[in-house]
Chain A
Amino acid sequence: MDLNLDAPHSMGTTIIGVTYNGGVVLGADSRTSTGMYVANRASDKITQLTDNVYVCRSGSAADSQVVSDYVRYFLHQHTIQLGQPATVKVSANLIRMLAYNNKNMLQTGLIVGGWDKYEGGKIYGIPLGGTVVEQPFAIGGSGSSYLYGFFDQAWKENMTKEEAEVSILISMLMP
Protein backbone atom coordinates (compact mmCIF):
# COMPACT_ATOMS: atom_id res chain seq x y z
CA MET A 1 0.00 0.00 0.00
CA ASP A 2 1.55 3.24 -1.10
CA LEU A 3 1.57 5.90 1.60
CA ASN A 4 2.36 8.69 -0.86
CA LEU A 5 4.15 10.90 1.65
CA ASP A 6 4.58 13.57 -0.99
CA ALA A 7 0.86 14.27 -1.16
CA PRO A 8 -0.01 17.79 -0.05
CA HIS A 9 -0.95 18.10 3.60
CA SER A 10 -4.72 18.27 3.70
CA MET A 11 -6.87 18.21 6.69
CA GLY A 12 -9.59 15.55 6.08
CA THR A 13 -11.52 17.59 8.46
CA THR A 14 -14.72 18.18 10.33
CA ILE A 15 -15.34 21.79 11.32
CA ILE A 16 -18.51 23.22 12.85
CA GLY A 17 -19.76 26.60 14.00
CA VAL A 18 -23.05 27.07 15.86
CA THR A 19 -24.71 30.28 17.04
CA TYR A 20 -26.56 30.28 20.33
CA ASN A 21 -28.33 32.79 22.46
CA GLY A 22 -25.41 35.05 23.41
CA GLY A 23 -22.59 33.99 21.09
CA VAL A 24 -21.09 31.22 19.01
CA VAL A 25 -19.46 27.84 19.65
CA LEU A 26 -16.80 26.53 17.26
CA GLY A 27 -15.60 22.95 16.99
CA ALA A 28 -13.01 21.04 14.96
CA ASP A 29 -11.20 17.69 14.89
CA SER A 30 -7.42 17.53 15.20
CA ARG A 31 -6.21 15.35 12.31
CA THR A 32 -3.92 16.55 9.51
CA SER A 33 -3.22 13.88 6.88
CA THR A 34 -0.77 13.45 4.00
CA GLY A 35 -2.45 10.87 1.82
CA MET A 36 -3.04 7.89 4.13
CA TYR A 37 -0.55 8.98 6.82
CA VAL A 38 -1.62 11.14 9.74
CA ALA A 39 0.99 13.88 9.75
CA ASN A 40 -0.31 15.61 12.88
CA ARG A 41 -2.84 14.11 15.27
CA ALA A 42 -2.93 17.17 17.51
CA SER A 43 -3.57 20.02 15.09
CA ASP A 44 -5.39 23.14 16.17
CA LYS A 45 -7.79 24.00 13.38
CA ILE A 46 -9.55 26.76 15.28
CA THR A 47 -7.41 29.81 14.72
CA GLN A 48 -7.67 33.21 16.35
CA LEU A 49 -7.94 36.28 14.15
CA THR A 50 -8.81 38.88 16.80
CA ASP A 51 -9.93 38.87 20.45
CA ASN A 52 -13.49 38.33 19.33
CA VAL A 53 -13.23 36.50 15.97
CA TYR A 54 -11.96 33.00 15.27
CA VAL A 55 -11.84 30.89 12.11
CA CYS A 56 -12.17 27.12 11.59
CA ARG A 57 -9.87 25.89 8.83
CA SER A 58 -10.33 23.01 6.38
CA GLY A 59 -8.82 21.88 3.09
CA SER A 60 -5.18 22.58 2.36
CA ALA A 61 -3.34 23.26 5.64
CA ALA A 62 -0.88 25.63 3.99
CA ASP A 63 -3.54 27.65 2.18
CA SER A 64 -5.76 28.04 5.25
CA GLN A 65 -2.78 29.02 7.41
CA VAL A 66 -1.51 31.68 5.07
CA VAL A 67 -5.00 33.13 4.55
CA SER A 68 -5.49 33.27 8.33
CA ASP A 69 -2.12 34.99 8.76
CA TYR A 70 -2.91 37.65 6.16
CA VAL A 71 -6.37 38.32 7.58
CA ARG A 72 -5.03 38.52 11.15
CA TYR A 73 -2.50 41.08 9.92
CA PHE A 74 -5.17 43.12 8.09
CA LEU A 75 -7.54 42.99 11.03
CA HIS A 76 -4.83 44.11 13.43
CA GLN A 77 -4.29 47.25 11.38
CA HIS A 78 -8.00 47.74 10.86
CA THR A 79 -8.59 47.58 14.63
CA ILE A 80 -5.96 50.24 15.24
CA GLN A 81 -7.45 52.54 12.63
CA LEU A 82 -11.02 51.91 13.69
CA GLY A 83 -10.29 52.38 17.39
CA GLN A 84 -12.54 49.51 18.40
CA PRO A 85 -12.82 45.73 17.89
CA ALA A 86 -13.37 44.57 14.32
CA THR A 87 -16.77 43.08 13.50
CA VAL A 88 -17.28 39.47 12.46
CA LYS A 89 -18.68 40.66 9.13
CA VAL A 90 -15.52 42.60 8.31
CA SER A 91 -13.38 39.58 9.21
CA ALA A 92 -15.49 37.35 6.99
CA ASN A 93 -15.28 39.84 4.15
CA LEU A 94 -11.49 40.02 4.33
CA ILE A 95 -11.30 36.25 4.13
CA ARG A 96 -13.74 36.35 1.21
CA MET A 97 -11.55 38.89 -0.57
CA LEU A 98 -8.54 36.60 -0.44
CA ALA A 99 -10.54 33.46 -1.17
CA TYR A 100 -12.38 34.94 -4.15
CA ASN A 101 -9.50 36.78 -5.80
CA ASN A 102 -7.23 33.75 -5.52
CA LYS A 103 -9.81 31.11 -6.22
CA ASN A 104 -7.61 29.50 -8.87
CA MET A 105 -4.84 28.78 -6.41
CA LEU A 106 -6.48 28.25 -3.04
CA GLN A 107 -8.15 25.11 -1.83
CA THR A 108 -9.54 25.93 1.57
CA GLY A 109 -12.98 26.10 3.10
CA LEU A 110 -13.38 28.26 6.19
CA ILE A 111 -15.95 28.99 8.86
CA VAL A 112 -15.64 32.42 10.50
CA GLY A 113 -17.29 32.79 13.89
CA GLY A 114 -17.24 35.52 16.50
CA TRP A 115 -19.09 38.11 18.51
CA ASP A 116 -19.35 41.87 18.12
CA LYS A 117 -21.50 44.46 19.86
CA TYR A 118 -23.52 45.33 16.76
CA GLU A 119 -24.77 41.95 15.59
CA GLY A 120 -23.96 39.61 18.50
CA GLY A 121 -22.80 36.09 17.69
CA LYS A 122 -22.46 35.40 13.96
CA ILE A 123 -21.23 32.53 11.78
CA TYR A 124 -20.12 32.98 8.16
CA GLY A 125 -19.35 30.02 5.89
CA ILE A 126 -16.79 30.58 3.13
CA PRO A 127 -16.55 27.51 0.89
CA LEU A 128 -14.30 26.98 -2.15
CA GLY A 129 -14.74 29.75 -4.68
CA GLY A 130 -15.17 32.56 -2.15
CA THR A 131 -18.93 32.66 -1.67
CA VAL A 132 -19.92 34.13 1.72
CA VAL A 133 -22.99 32.72 3.41
CA GLU A 134 -24.20 33.94 6.79
CA GLN A 135 -25.75 30.99 8.60
CA PRO A 136 -27.13 30.18 12.05
CA PHE A 137 -24.84 27.16 11.97
CA ALA A 138 -22.22 25.97 9.50
CA ILE A 139 -20.41 22.71 8.82
CA GLY A 140 -17.37 22.14 6.63
CA GLY A 141 -14.49 19.88 5.70
CA SER A 142 -14.65 16.44 4.13
CA GLY A 143 -16.00 14.98 7.35
CA SER A 144 -19.02 17.23 7.19
CA SER A 145 -20.74 14.96 4.64
CA TYR A 146 -21.92 12.81 7.54
CA LEU A 147 -23.35 15.77 9.38
CA TYR A 148 -25.85 17.22 6.90
CA GLY A 149 -28.51 14.78 7.96
CA PHE A 150 -27.65 15.05 11.65
CA PHE A 151 -27.90 18.83 11.80
CA ASP A 152 -31.02 18.91 9.64
CA GLN A 153 -32.84 17.16 12.46
CA ALA A 154 -30.83 18.16 15.52
CA TRP A 155 -30.40 21.90 15.07
CA LYS A 156 -33.05 24.29 16.29
CA GLU A 157 -33.23 28.04 16.78
CA ASN A 158 -32.16 29.65 20.08
CA MET A 159 -30.18 26.77 21.52
CA THR A 160 -28.41 27.26 24.81
CA LYS A 161 -24.62 27.14 24.96
CA GLU A 162 -24.74 23.64 26.41
CA GLU A 163 -27.03 22.36 23.65
CA ALA A 164 -24.75 23.87 21.00
CA GLU A 165 -21.69 22.29 22.59
CA VAL A 166 -23.34 18.88 22.87
CA SER A 167 -24.39 18.91 19.21
CA ILE A 168 -20.79 19.63 18.22
CA LEU A 169 -19.40 16.91 20.52
CA ILE A 170 -21.79 14.32 19.11
CA SER A 171 -20.90 15.35 15.56
CA MET A 172 -17.22 14.69 16.14
CA LEU A 173 -18.05 11.05 16.84
CA MET A 174 -19.25 10.52 13.28
CA PRO A 175 -16.64 9.03 10.90
Chain B
Amino acid sequence: REETSDRERGRGAIGVSEKMTFTIPIENGNGVKNAEADSQRTLYPYVTGTSVVAIKYKDGILMASDMGGSYGSTLRYKNIERMKAIGKHSLLGASGEISDFQEILRYLDELMLNDNMWDDGNSLGPKEVHNYLTRVMYNRRNKFNPLWNTLVLGGVKNGEKYLGMVSMIGVSFEDNHVATGFGNHLARPILRDEWREDLSFEEGVKLLEKCMRVLLYRDRSAINKLQIAKMTEEGVTVSEPYSLKTFWDFKAFTNPTVGAEGSW
Protein backbone atom coordinates (compact mmCIF):
# COMPACT_ATOMS: atom_id res chain seq x y z
CA ARG B 1 0.00 0.00 0.00
CA GLU B 2 1.41 3.36 -1.05
CA GLU B 3 1.72 6.01 1.59
CA THR B 4 1.48 9.30 -0.22
CA SER B 5 0.72 12.45 1.66
CA ASP B 6 -2.46 14.39 1.15
CA ARG B 7 -0.39 17.26 -0.16
CA GLU B 8 1.18 15.08 -2.88
CA ARG B 9 -2.18 13.82 -3.99
CA GLY B 10 -3.31 17.41 -4.32
CA ARG B 11 -6.07 17.18 -1.78
CA GLY B 12 -7.32 20.22 0.00
CA ALA B 13 -9.01 20.68 3.29
CA ILE B 14 -11.65 18.31 4.53
CA GLY B 15 -15.10 19.82 4.65
CA VAL B 16 -18.48 18.73 5.90
CA SER B 17 -21.45 19.37 3.65
CA GLU B 18 -25.11 19.71 4.58
CA LYS B 19 -25.64 16.11 3.46
CA MET B 20 -23.89 14.99 6.67
CA THR B 21 -20.90 13.56 4.83
CA PHE B 22 -17.20 14.16 4.83
CA THR B 23 -16.01 15.33 1.43
CA ILE B 24 -12.41 15.62 0.34
CA PRO B 25 -12.05 17.96 -2.64
CA ILE B 26 -9.43 16.98 -5.21
CA GLU B 27 -8.00 19.75 -7.33
CA ASN B 28 -7.17 18.58 -10.82
CA GLY B 29 -7.32 21.69 -12.96
CA ASN B 30 -10.78 21.03 -14.29
CA GLY B 31 -12.57 22.00 -11.14
CA VAL B 32 -12.95 20.28 -7.85
CA LYS B 33 -14.20 16.69 -7.73
CA ASN B 34 -15.22 14.87 -4.62
CA ALA B 35 -13.52 11.66 -3.58
CA GLU B 36 -16.89 10.12 -2.80
CA ALA B 37 -16.44 7.47 -5.46
CA ASP B 38 -13.26 6.17 -3.85
CA SER B 39 -14.71 5.63 -0.42
CA GLN B 40 -17.14 3.06 0.80
CA ARG B 41 -19.78 5.37 2.16
CA THR B 42 -23.47 5.90 1.45
CA LEU B 43 -23.70 9.58 0.97
CA TYR B 44 -27.24 10.37 -0.03
CA PRO B 45 -30.48 8.51 -0.60
CA TYR B 46 -32.01 8.12 -4.06
CA VAL B 47 -35.43 6.48 -3.81
CA THR B 48 -37.03 7.36 -0.48
CA GLY B 49 -40.14 6.60 1.50
CA THR B 50 -41.72 9.17 3.78
CA SER B 51 -43.28 8.88 7.26
CA VAL B 52 -44.28 5.77 9.15
CA VAL B 53 -46.61 6.14 12.17
CA ALA B 54 -47.32 3.43 14.76
CA ILE B 55 -49.23 3.09 18.03
CA LYS B 56 -49.88 0.50 20.69
CA TYR B 57 -53.55 -0.28 21.21
CA LYS B 58 -55.62 -2.65 23.34
CA ASP B 59 -54.87 -5.84 21.40
CA GLY B 60 -51.45 -5.05 19.99
CA ILE B 61 -49.81 -2.63 17.55
CA LEU B 62 -51.12 -0.63 14.60
CA MET B 63 -48.78 0.82 11.99
CA ALA B 64 -49.48 3.00 8.95
CA SER B 65 -47.45 4.17 5.98
CA ASP B 66 -48.16 5.34 2.46
CA MET B 67 -46.96 3.54 -0.65
CA GLY B 68 -44.90 6.26 -2.25
CA GLY B 69 -41.28 6.10 -3.38
CA SER B 70 -39.87 9.54 -4.15
CA TYR B 71 -36.88 10.18 -6.37
CA GLY B 72 -35.78 13.60 -5.16
CA SER B 73 -38.84 15.76 -5.59
CA THR B 74 -40.43 13.47 -8.19
CA LEU B 75 -43.02 11.05 -6.91
CA ARG B 76 -41.66 8.18 -8.95
CA TYR B 77 -43.12 4.99 -7.52
CA LYS B 78 -46.62 4.62 -6.16
CA ASN B 79 -46.69 0.98 -5.18
CA ILE B 80 -43.88 0.47 -2.68
CA GLU B 81 -44.76 -1.57 0.40
CA ARG B 82 -42.85 -0.03 3.26
CA MET B 83 -44.09 -2.39 5.97
CA LYS B 84 -43.16 -6.05 6.02
CA ALA B 85 -43.86 -8.90 8.45
CA ILE B 86 -40.81 -10.39 10.14
CA GLY B 87 -41.51 -13.93 11.30
CA LYS B 88 -44.79 -14.46 13.14
CA HIS B 89 -44.45 -11.80 15.78
CA SER B 90 -43.04 -8.62 14.28
CA LEU B 91 -43.56 -5.99 11.63
CA LEU B 92 -40.91 -3.67 10.25
CA GLY B 93 -41.80 -0.32 8.77
CA ALA B 94 -39.20 1.88 7.12
CA SER B 95 -38.73 5.37 5.79
CA GLY B 96 -35.67 6.55 3.87
CA GLU B 97 -33.72 4.81 1.11
CA ILE B 98 -35.71 1.87 -0.25
CA SER B 99 -32.70 -0.10 -1.50
CA ASP B 100 -31.28 -0.07 2.04
CA PHE B 101 -34.65 -1.22 3.39
CA GLN B 102 -34.63 -4.08 0.89
CA GLU B 103 -31.13 -5.00 2.08
CA ILE B 104 -32.25 -4.93 5.73
CA LEU B 105 -35.09 -7.32 4.81
CA ARG B 106 -32.48 -9.69 3.39
CA TYR B 107 -30.46 -9.51 6.62
CA LEU B 108 -33.61 -10.24 8.63
CA ASP B 109 -34.49 -13.10 6.29
CA GLU B 110 -31.14 -14.66 7.08
CA LEU B 111 -31.60 -13.98 10.79
CA MET B 112 -35.03 -15.61 10.88
CA LEU B 113 -33.83 -18.54 8.77
CA ASN B 114 -31.00 -19.28 11.16
CA ASP B 115 -33.42 -18.91 14.06
CA ASN B 116 -35.77 -21.46 12.51
CA MET B 117 -32.93 -23.86 11.87
CA TRP B 118 -32.38 -24.27 15.60
CA ASP B 119 -35.78 -25.95 15.51
CA ASP B 120 -36.08 -25.52 19.25
CA GLY B 121 -39.61 -24.18 19.49
CA ASN B 122 -38.33 -20.66 20.14
CA SER B 123 -38.74 -17.79 17.75
CA LEU B 124 -37.26 -14.32 17.71
CA GLY B 125 -39.70 -11.74 19.02
CA PRO B 126 -39.91 -8.02 18.36
CA LYS B 127 -37.57 -7.17 21.23
CA GLU B 128 -34.83 -9.35 19.79
CA VAL B 129 -35.33 -8.11 16.23
CA HIS B 130 -35.23 -4.52 17.45
CA ASN B 131 -31.98 -5.16 19.26
CA TYR B 132 -30.46 -6.79 16.19
CA LEU B 133 -31.46 -3.85 14.01
CA THR B 134 -30.06 -1.36 16.53
CA ARG B 135 -26.69 -3.12 16.44
CA VAL B 136 -26.66 -3.20 12.64
CA MET B 137 -27.60 0.48 12.28
CA TYR B 138 -25.19 1.70 14.91
CA ASN B 139 -22.25 -0.28 13.56
CA ARG B 140 -22.86 1.01 10.05
CA ARG B 141 -23.00 4.54 11.45
CA ASN B 142 -19.63 4.01 13.11
CA LYS B 143 -18.13 3.10 9.75
CA PHE B 144 -19.55 6.30 8.20
CA ASN B 145 -21.62 4.12 5.87
CA PRO B 146 -25.14 4.21 7.27
CA LEU B 147 -28.19 2.40 6.06
CA TRP B 148 -30.22 5.46 5.23
CA ASN B 149 -33.42 4.46 7.00
CA THR B 150 -35.47 5.18 10.06
CA LEU B 151 -37.04 1.91 11.13
CA VAL B 152 -40.16 1.21 13.18
CA LEU B 153 -40.34 -2.24 14.73
CA GLY B 154 -43.53 -3.45 16.37
CA GLY B 155 -44.98 -6.75 17.47
CA VAL B 156 -46.70 -8.88 20.07
CA LYS B 157 -45.24 -11.97 21.68
CA ASN B 158 -46.63 -13.92 24.60
CA GLY B 159 -49.14 -11.19 25.25
CA GLU B 160 -46.51 -8.49 25.51
CA LYS B 161 -46.82 -5.55 23.13
CA TYR B 162 -43.61 -4.00 21.82
CA LEU B 163 -43.07 -0.86 19.75
CA GLY B 164 -39.66 0.64 19.03
CA MET B 165 -37.70 2.73 16.59
CA VAL B 166 -34.11 2.85 15.25
CA SER B 167 -32.68 5.76 13.30
CA MET B 168 -29.90 5.75 10.70
CA ILE B 169 -27.39 6.88 13.30
CA GLY B 170 -28.32 4.09 15.69
CA VAL B 171 -30.55 6.02 18.11
CA SER B 172 -32.95 3.45 19.47
CA PHE B 173 -35.87 3.55 21.87
CA GLU B 174 -39.32 2.17 22.66
CA ASP B 175 -42.52 4.07 23.22
CA ASN B 176 -46.31 3.80 23.11
CA HIS B 177 -46.36 5.68 19.85
CA VAL B 178 -43.60 6.39 17.33
CA ALA B 179 -43.27 8.13 13.99
CA THR B 180 -40.52 8.82 11.45
CA GLY B 181 -39.61 11.88 9.41
CA PHE B 182 -42.40 14.39 9.12
CA GLY B 183 -44.51 12.19 11.32
CA ASN B 184 -42.36 13.24 14.28
CA HIS B 185 -43.44 16.82 13.84
CA LEU B 186 -47.01 16.39 12.68
CA ALA B 187 -48.25 13.08 14.08
CA ARG B 188 -46.54 12.76 17.49
CA PRO B 189 -48.24 15.90 18.95
CA ILE B 190 -51.64 14.51 17.94
CA LEU B 191 -50.74 11.17 19.49
CA ARG B 192 -49.46 12.76 22.69
CA ASP B 193 -52.87 14.39 23.10
CA GLU B 194 -55.15 11.59 22.01
CA TRP B 195 -53.42 8.26 22.59
CA ARG B 196 -54.75 6.03 25.35
CA GLU B 197 -53.72 2.62 26.64
CA ASP B 198 -57.09 1.02 25.90
CA LEU B 199 -57.80 2.13 22.34
CA SER B 200 -60.00 -0.30 20.43
CA PHE B 201 -59.03 -1.38 16.93
CA GLU B 202 -61.52 1.04 15.32
CA GLU B 203 -60.39 3.93 17.52
CA GLY B 204 -56.74 3.14 16.78
CA VAL B 205 -57.33 3.10 13.05
CA LYS B 206 -59.23 6.38 13.23
CA LEU B 207 -56.39 7.95 15.19
CA LEU B 208 -53.80 6.75 12.70
CA GLU B 209 -55.91 7.96 9.80
CA LYS B 210 -56.14 11.36 11.47
CA CYS B 211 -52.34 11.50 11.59
CA MET B 212 -51.95 10.25 8.03
CA ARG B 213 -54.45 12.84 6.78
CA VAL B 214 -52.44 15.67 8.33
CA LEU B 215 -49.31 14.21 6.77
CA LEU B 216 -51.07 14.02 3.42
CA TYR B 217 -52.00 17.71 3.67
CA ARG B 218 -48.64 18.93 4.85
CA ASP B 219 -45.90 16.51 3.69
CA ARG B 220 -44.97 17.21 0.11
CA SER B 221 -43.75 13.69 -0.46
CA ALA B 222 -46.87 11.97 0.90
CA ILE B 223 -49.38 10.29 -1.40
CA ASN B 224 -52.99 9.33 -0.84
CA LYS B 225 -52.49 5.58 -0.97
CA LEU B 226 -51.82 3.99 2.37
CA GLN B 227 -51.73 0.69 4.16
CA ILE B 228 -52.44 -0.04 7.80
CA ALA B 229 -50.86 -3.05 9.49
CA LYS B 230 -52.15 -4.82 12.57
CA MET B 231 -50.11 -6.92 14.97
CA THR B 232 -51.78 -9.03 17.62
CA GLU B 233 -51.07 -12.29 19.40
CA GLU B 234 -52.76 -14.05 16.49
CA GLY B 235 -50.34 -12.68 13.96
CA VAL B 236 -49.48 -9.89 11.57
CA THR B 237 -51.70 -8.59 8.77
CA VAL B 238 -51.16 -5.75 6.31
CA SER B 239 -54.27 -4.19 4.80
CA GLU B 240 -54.96 -3.64 1.12
CA PRO B 241 -54.04 -0.14 -0.08
CA TYR B 242 -56.75 2.49 0.27
CA SER B 243 -57.09 6.26 0.22
CA LEU B 244 -58.31 8.89 2.69
CA LYS B 245 -61.05 11.46 2.21
CA THR B 246 -59.77 15.01 2.24
CA PHE B 247 -61.37 18.39 2.73
CA TRP B 248 -61.05 21.08 0.11
CA ASP B 249 -64.44 22.85 0.37
CA PHE B 250 -63.02 26.10 1.54
CA LYS B 251 -65.32 29.08 1.03
CA ALA B 252 -62.57 30.83 -0.85
CA PHE B 253 -62.50 27.98 -3.40
CA THR B 254 -66.24 27.55 -3.83
CA ASN B 255 -66.70 31.23 -4.49
CA PRO B 256 -63.31 32.36 -5.76
CA THR B 257 -64.23 35.79 -7.14
CA VAL B 258 -65.70 37.08 -3.88
CA GLY B 259 -63.03 39.12 -2.17
CA ALA B 260 -60.51 38.09 -4.85
CA GLU B 261 -58.88 41.47 -5.10
CA GLY B 262 -56.05 41.67 -2.62
CA SER B 263 -56.45 38.09 -1.48
CA TRP B 264 -53.83 35.36 -1.61
A interface residues (Cβ-Cβ under 8 A, vs B): 6, 96, 100, 103-105, 125, 127-133, 135, 145, 148
A100-B99 CB under 8 A given contacts A131-B69, A133-B77: yes
B78-103, CB under 8 A of A: which get 1 and which 0?
01100000000000000001110011
When distances are taken between beta carbons in the complex, the residues of chain B under 8 Å from A148 are 74
Which one of B38-46, B57-65, B131-139, B226-234 is at the A interface? B38-46
15 contacts between A and B (CB under 8 A): A96-B99, A100-B102, A104-B37, A104-B42, A105-B37, A127-B47, A128-B47, A129-B45, A129-B98, A131-B97, A131-B99, A132-B99, A132-B102, A133-B79, A148-B74
Interchain nearest-CB distance for A100 vs B (Å) = 5
CB < 8 Å neighbour of B36 from A104, A129, A135: A104
When distances are taken between beta carbons in the complex, the residues of chain B under 8 Å from A132 are 99, 102
A129-B47 CB under 8 A given contacts A100-B99, A103-B42, A104-B42: yes
B39 pairs with A131, CB closer than 8 A = no
When distances are taken between beta carbons in the complex, the residues of chain A under 8 Å from B45 are 129
CB < 8 Å neighbour of B41 from A96, A100, A104: A104
Q: Check B71 for interface membership: any CB of A closer than 8 A.
A: yes
- CB-CB contacts below 8 Å: B151-192 with A: none
Interchain nearest-CB distance for A7 vs B (Å) = 10
A131 pairs with B47, CB closer than 8 A = yes
B interface: dominant SS:
mixed
B interface residues (Cβ-Cβ under 8 A, vs A): 30, 36-37, 39-43, 45-47, 69, 71, 74, 76-77, 79-80, 97-99, 102-103
B76 pairs with A127, CB closer than 8 A = yes
Report the bound CA distance from A145 to B41 in whole Å.
29
Which chain A residue has the least Cβ–Cβ distance from B36? Answer: A104
Interchain nearest-CB distance for B219 vs A (Å) = 20
B43 pairs with A131, CB closer than 8 A = no
CB < 8 Å neighbour of A129 from B40, B74, B80, B99: B99
Interchain nearest-CB distance for B121 vs A (Å) = 33
A131 pairs with B37, CB closer than 8 A = no
Interchain nearest-CB distance for B9 vs A (Å) = 19
CB < 8 Å neighbour of A130 from B39, B40, B99: B99
Interchain nearest-CB distance for A111 vs B (Å) = 13
